[in-house]
Structure 1
Amino acid sequence: MALISSKQIQLRASAARPAQVVAQVGAVRAPARAAAPAIAAAAFSSAPCAQLGRPSRRVAVCALSIDNPVLNTTSDGLQVPHGVDAKLVNLMAPADQHAALVSSCNKRIELSDRNACDVELLTVGAFSPLEGFMPKEDYESVVANMRLSNGPLFGLPIVLDTNSEDVVVGDTVLLSYQGQDLAVMTVTSKYTPNKPLECLKCYGTSSLEHPAVQMVAMERGKYYMGGPIKGLALPTRVFPCASPADVRSTLPPYQDVLAFQCRNPIHKAHYELFIRALDAPNVRTGGVCLVHPTCGPTQDDDIPGVVRFRTYEVLKEETANPRLRWAYLPYSMHMAGPREAIQHMIIRKNYGCTHFIIGRDMAGCKSSISGQDFYGAYDAQEMANKHAPELNMQTVPSLNIAFTEERGYVTADVAKAEGLHVLNLSGTKFRQMLRGGEDIPEWFAFKSVVDVLRTQVLTEAN
């Protein structure tokens, strides 16, 4: 397979453009709930946790109106699943069919870590309305238009790759992972993808400086295959990953459900972000937040998923907040910025969420050579806001939070207006302090989380 040629990164002018981002939000979700507050607009400063204490360059506005259309709900008062039929897919075959399915297979494929995540998310319906890997027509439509061939939005292609010349259309393939049979796939489509175009359209670049371009060029095989799957089992993992149906069973009916996506340990600033998001003007009193970290493959230098899971578990126990729901997502990050924001929203919609908390440069990444950002700071927010009404969701920009000596955590604009002394601790300095055995300030991180991370550091050192 030829490598995709490298280009110079084209910095997008929108990264510094001081325009507003407007999030369109709906009104009453169900007649049984109280009327929406009559607020014309409320401003939120939006910035990533790495920028705590720094004023943002742009203000993201959530415009609220009781004239907006009613959001759709299921008969039990929850968010409708994604797709034309608004149906939550369940591809798991009954146990009494497993033996016959396995015996029908004439080929076997060993899945990569990323493939196994995709098979699991397909099986449990997190990728609803998909019922298998994308055939050529869906792949090309998603690459070109960010839509399935029959119309619904979809952020990124879900494909199974192979270098095998032997697998052909009509084959029934057993999909295995680390000695475990996960699913049976009927191959209805096998094609040679246009990888440079896929990368350019999905990631905004075909440069190998982007981690997902490297993945497509160096990890994925020559061919992609599409076709329906029937699940046999879910991957055996150290951490449990609740299905959309499982998560939905824990959600309150006719209530707002916010989704908080992350791929790193949660420190106190992150916690303040999603707790305060519950009080955003477009979130009803009584809403809950689903803290839903991705625990699948991410970037090479990220903390391993198992370690991240342990930090979340101790934090869940330490905070014991009844307004939070916790679940773990076996998703493989692409660092695709705006496109990935849409992918995350669709997944969380299927898990029952009505709102999505979105920060500055969400799912963004930097050039491995120059260190420059691939996406503008607010590109993901703009993309999410543009498509939120179609997705039957609302966005909540994450606040720019700063820790001050005088008043603890406040918004950065308050800290600036009142002349408060802001404390900062960079991620690099935090890691240095962990490795050196230094005390971590309590304002920065939860002790339980620090203990887990320090144990990991000591393990790596030995």
Structure 2
Amino acid sequence: MHNHAQSLLVHFHRAEEIKAASLAYPSHTLRPDQLLILELLLNRALYPLTGYLGRADFESVLASMRLTDGRIMPWPISLDVPARLGNALAPGDCLALRDAEGFMLAVLTVSETWAAEPHVEAQALFGLADPATHPGASAYLATTQAVRVAGEVTGLALPPHADFVELRLDPTTLQALFAQRGWRSVLACPTAGIPLLAHQAAMQQAAAAVGARVLLAHPAGEAMTGGAAHFAGVRCAEHFAASFPKSSAQLALLPVPQPGAGPRQALFEAVIHANLGASHTLVAPDQHDPRDAAGQLLYPLGAAQALVAAHQNETGVVMVAAKPMVYVEEKAQFAPQDAVIPGETVRQLDAGELTRRLQFDLEVPAWYALPEIVAEMRTIFPPRAKQGFTLFMTGLSGAGKSTLAKILYVIFMERRSRPVTLLDGDIVRRHLSSELTFSKEHRNLNIARIGFVASEITKNGGIAICAPIAPYASARRVARGLVSPHGGFVEIHMATPLAVCEQRDRKGLYAKARAGLVKDVTGIDDPYEVPEQAELTLDTTALSPGEAAQEVLLYLEAQGYLG
């Protein structure tokens, strides 16, 4: 086991001196992912690092997963900042690192700065020619800022957490705990996602094979960022830990980012696990592989296991392969898939099937997951009939969006099954976006605002009925992305042709546009990008408003949203 120097945090007397001196320092507010990395740096889970990498080390890690001195470090621990701030920094300057509330956590003494190259970096880190195909790589490209800053870090305080404080155990605490219990061998088992009984069987089988106790390493960020899913995830991990035999497992929440970078991320976690005091690390054949849109693996099966095993002498943590486990009915227990005897009845469910059963309020077998975990999942993923949802109508002015929205509003209000909010285009423009113009940038911002409000309504179990023109596919995608994690998102394309909309022209908008009196009118001098994957397409040329409303209700009933 590693026995490292204490954390990078200074004594509180010294912290007060630094705070007094810091009034003149420029500041950088850390993103959620940057807060995770800073916490790992400050508590020494990233030993031997004592700050953010310089350019030579950064590029060496990208190319070879090693520092320039040859030591293993799979992830380039670096700080990216906006151009205006980064370009104003010089070697020797001090930069205050703050959380979202403005609380100063650390001071970075700048050693060098250079321009970030997000695309080149993402290709190397995720091992993909086109990073846009990978959700973690896409997020990396979207969030990485213009300038990288290197230098030593002086810590004043760890990022504060108000939730599950007793589970946020740093390396020093964990090593003391293992020593106190006499745990000589410890198998670190990552527990991202929903922990199932097959996972427990794999962990116990692996721990028994190497004579180790189990450290359940649960990745957990900041409560406000993760929302309800964060709390449910930790509670599931607590139920899971409690189901292990007494004194054989320890749960710890770790601030480890989850970019889904496959083998490289598995090796990065192995380095962290060694610094936590683990002797072994459990690696699945498809560890940290988020799969593509079609459900295909992005990394070769078993590559993560091979990479961690190849470097175990350097990391100091032994790779243990997680064996896929299946439930054998005749034995009423799990067994390794490769140990099943011909003729035995094997039961398996994938994560997609679990999601389906939760959505439609169907039974989840007792052998598949702990009842406490299923109950927790049912609160966070209620059946569709109890979920909030958003109806997002898009189409030209005069296509019938507002008329349909009002009819649906009345129908849902009469049913009284959920609270209902109408976010019609004109209403939103008046109350939420009065200062915005009709430029593309402002139109996108308007739709993002609608998406945010709709996501809050959906999250709280309500129905949001949105009826903006929403001419651009990119803005509609943003709205879907905001709402979908919290409930249903039903895009309704009001596909009424321009000629019919012009005939109706209730607001006189098209007549003014044709006469050149107004600019940027969708369908005339501004494009409308037709939705390619709308859940419903309605043309009100031949449909009455009442008939259109029935089409929406039939769809919602078929999808299980209306009980």
TM-score, normalisation: structure 2: 0.63
Counterpart pick for 1:394 among 304, 315, 318: 318
Task: Name 1:246's counterpart in structure 2.
Answer: 173
1:371 CA displacement: 4.1
Cross-structure match for 1:443: 367
Contact 1:126 1:350 (C-alpha < 8 Å) held by counterparts: yes
Work out which of the residue numbers 2, 7, 13 in structure 2 matches 1:96. 13
Q: Please give the secondary structure, in 2, of the residue aligned with 1:249.
A: helix
Does the 8 Å CA contact 1:291/1:327 hold for their aligned counterparts?
yes
Paired position in structure 1 for 2:99: 177
Q: 1:391 to 1:263 in 2, by over 3 A?
A: same
Within the candidate set 288, 309, 323, 2:213 is matched to 288
The amino acid that maps onto 2:282 is I
Alignment of 1:200-279 (within 5 A): 200-207=123-130, 208-237=132-161, 238-240=163-165, 241-252=168-179, 253=182, 255-279=184-208
Deviations 1:214-261 (A, max 9, x none): 123210101111111122222232233210001111114572111101
Is 446-455 or 190-199 further displaced after alignment?
190-199
- Find the residue that maps to 1:98 and give its secondary structure: helix
What is the deviation of 1:324? 0.9
2: distance between equivalents of 1:334 and 1:293? Answer: 15
Larger Rg: 2
Separation (CA, whole Å) in 2 of partners of 1:221 and 1:92: 27
* Residues 118 and 144 in structure 2, CA contact (< 8 A), matched pair in contact too: no
Task: Report the more deviating stretch, 220-229 or 310-319.
Answer: 310-319
**Matched residue type, 1:313:** E
Shift of 1:140: 1.1
The one-letter amino acid of 2:191's match is C
Partner of 1:310: 235
In structure 2, the partner of 1:134 is 53
Distance (Å, rounded) in 2 between the aligned partners of 1:239 and 1:435: 28
Looking at structure 2, the residues matched to 163 and 396 of structure 1 have their Cα atoms a distance apart, in angstroms, of 41
- Partner amino acid, structure 2, of 1:243: D
> Any idea what SS the aligned residue of 1:120 has?
helix
Q: CA, structure 1 residues 441+371, in 2 after alignment: closer, same or farther (shift >3 Å)? A: closer
Shift of 1:359: 0.8
Deviation of 1:320 (Å): 5.2
TM-aligned CA deviation for residue 303 of structure 1: 8.4
Distance of aligned partners of 1:314 and 1:424 in 2 relative to their CA distance in 1, 3 Å threshold: same
- Kindly state the Cα deviation for residue 88 of structure 1 after the two structures are TM-superposed: 4.2
1:7-86 aligned at under 5 Å gives the runs 79-80=1-2
Q: Are the counterparts in 2 of residues 430 and 440 from structure 1 also a CA contact under 8 Å?
A: yes
Amino acid at match of 2:76: P
Aligned residue number for residue 338 of structure 1? 263
Q: What is the one-letter code of the residue matched to 1:200?
A: Q
Pairwise CA distance, 1:157: 0.7
Return the structure number with greater relative CO, CA threshold 8 A, min gap 6: 1
> 1:410 maps to which residue?
335
- In 2, the alpha carbon distance for the partners of 1:149 and 1:296 equals 30
Change (3 A) 1:254 1:270: closer
Kept in 2: contact 1:295–1:306 (CA 8 A): no
Aligned residues: 371
Cα distance, 1:194 vs structure 2: 3.3
2:185 partner letter: D
Unpaired runs of at least 5, structure 1 = 1-78, 82-86
C-alpha distance 146-445 of structure 1, shift in aligned 2 (>3 A): same
User: CA separation of 1:90/1:262 partners in 2, compared to 1, >3 Å: closer, same or farther?
Assistant: same
The Cα offsets for residues 402-442 of structure 1, whole Å up to 9 and x where unpaired, read as 10211121121232x24211112221221122233333211
Contact in 2 for aligned 1:212/1:335 (Cα 8 Å): yes
**Percent of pairs identical after alignment?**
24
- Equivalents in 2 of 1:348, 1:200: separation in Å? 26
After superposition, give the CA deviation of every residue in 1:4-29 in whole Å (9 maximum; x if it has no partner). xxxxxxxxxxxxxxxxxxxxxxxxxx
Q: The residue matched to 2:343 in structure 1 has which SS? A: coil
2:110 is equivalent to residue 110 of structure 1:
no
Shift of 1:302: 12
Once the 2 structures are TM-superposed, how far is the Cα of residue 80 of structure 1 from its aligned partner? 1.9
| Cα 1:348–1:88 shift into 2, 3 Å | farther
Corresponding residue for 1:351? Answer: 276
Equivalent-residue separation in structure 2 for 1:183 and 1:93 (angstroms): 10
CA deviations 1:267-320 (Å, max 9, x no partner) are 10111111111121xx13xx21111111238xx999833321111122333445
CA shift in 2, pair 1:446/1:371, >3 Å: closer
Structure 1: how far apart are the matches of 2:314 and 2:264? 15
2: CA distance, partners of 1:206 / 1:104: 46
For the aligned residues, what is the CA RMSD?
Answer: 2.2
Q: Provide Cα deviations, 1:328-375, integer angstroms capped at 9, x if missing partner.
A: 11111121111111101000000001111111111112234x543221
Instruction: From the superposition, tell whether residues 145 and 413 of structure 1 become closer, same or farther in structure 2 (CA, over 3 Å).
Output: closer
Change (3 A) 1:321 1:418: farther
User: SS at the partner of 1:292?
Assistant: strand
Is the Cα–Cα contact under 8 Å of residues 89 and 128 in structure 1 kept in the other structure?
Answer: no
Q: Does the CA-based 8 Å contact 1:146-1:156 persist in structure 2?
A: yes
Q: Which amino acid aligns with 2:303?
A: D
Q: Which has the higher helix share?
A: 2
2: CA distance, partners of 1:328 / 1:151: 30
Q: How far has the Cα of 1:93 moved from its partner?
A: 1.3
Question: In the superposition, relative to structure 1, how do residues 328 and 206 fare at CA in structure 2: closer, same or farther (>3 Å)?
Answer: same
> Structure 1 pair 301/441, CA: closer, same or farther in 2 (3 Å)?
farther
> In structure 2, do the counterparts of structure 1 residues 160 and 304 end up closer, same or farther at CA, with 3 Å as the change threshold?
farther
